[in-house]
Amino acid sequence: MAKKKPTILVVNDDGITAPGIKVLLEVMQEIGNIIVVAPDSPQSGMGHAITIGKPLRLDKIDLYEGVEMYKCSGTPVDCVKLAVNQIFKGKKPDLCVSGINHGLNYSINVLYSGTMSAAVEGAIEGIPSIGFSLDDFAYHADFSHCKPYVKSIAQQVLQHGLPKNTLLNVNFPNIREEIKGLKVCRQANAKWFEEFDQRLDPYNREYFWMTGKFDLQDRGEDTDAYALQQGYVSIVPTQFDMTAHHVIPELNSWNFDGVQK
């Protein structure tokens, strides 16, 4: 008896026509039966935003032959929510993969990333989920060297599963020579220092373009940043429980006079 193929939800934040999602769906087709739900326009940097107060549209499209695809007017997280509730009708897929993103989502960028937020939403729904990103913002980026790693990582997740409330954040270095391998690591400590370029529009009204510099102060050799710098694919097990558990004992020692019962 033939083994049943897994059902895989494919999402992204760069939009339904982005080359990165085409590569991802092609790899996933080798593994299982896929359904693609992606934004109808680029939604980079949307984080875990959802659409409230206006309608969402979900339209089936024929972009690639033989692929069930839907474009969504909302955010990457909206795509996952609509897929689970309206397409799968509550019957969860076996895997949710997001990407492949045009640009890295390592270190603190995981908080801003629409790609990773879609994967996080998959994990919240109880679906084993992975976010994939490449260190190349170019529209016609070459994703070919990512394919074998995407397939292998997805197959391992399908085989072993993931612990509850966790997902994987996978980033690829932008190199054309052979990648050195995979490294499971931690998220590097870094932040953005924003700058705002102030300008005037034709009506003499102020507006701003946000720019900034990425400051990586973490020099550890066990981080995603270091792995990528050394030519490795980084894999960071990620969780969405943002509780600082180690601080709870300290807060319990504080004296909240007048309010503590």
Token pair 């984080």 in the structure block, residue: 47
User: Is 152 a domain residue?
Assistant: yes
User: Is 87 a domain residue?
Assistant: yes
User: Is 209 a domain residue?
Assistant: no
Q: Which residues of 161-200 are buried (b: 16+ CB within 10 A; e: fewer)?
A: ebeeeebbbbbbbeeeeebeeebebbbbebeeeeeeeeee
Residue range(s) defining the domain that contains residue 102 = 7-187+220-252
User: Is 45 a domain residue?
Assistant: yes
User: Is 138 a domain residue?
Assistant: yes
Query: Quick one: pLDDT at residue 240?
Result: 94
Confidence of residue 175 (pLDDT cuts 50, 70, 90): confident
Number of C-alpha atoms within 13 angstroms, CB side, residue 143? 28
pTM: 0.93
Domains held by the chain: number: 1
Alpha-carbon distance 108 to 111, whole Å?
6
Token pair 């397409």 in the structure block, residue: 87
- The residues that bridge with 36 in the sheet, in sequence order, are 10, 69
User: Is 178 a domain residue?
Assistant: yes
User: Is 196 a domain residue?
Assistant: no
Rounded average pLDDT over 70-84: 97
User: Is 202 a domain residue?
Assistant: no
Encoded tokens for 54: 């206006």
Sign of CA dihedral 56, 57, 63, 64: positive
pLDDT digits (tens, 9 = 90+) for 39-49: 999 888 889 99
Token pair 């879609």 in the structure block, residue: 118
Number of C-alpha atoms within 13 angstroms, CB side, residue 20? 28
pLDDT digits (tens, 9 = 90+) for 192-217: 888 899 999 999 999 999 888 888 88
Helical spans, DSSP H, in 125-212: 147-160
> What residues have CB less than 8 Å from 213, skipping those under 6 apart?
192, 193, 195
Distances in whole angstroms, Cα of residue 12 to Cα of each of 53, 117, 167, 210: 23, 9, 15, 23
Helix orientation angle between 147-160 and 19-29, rounded to the nearest 10 degrees:
50
Output the domain CATH number for residue 49.
3.40.1210.10
pLDDT > 70? residue 1: no
Rounded average pLDDT over 77-106: 95
- The residues that bridge with 95 in the sheet, in sequence order, are 8
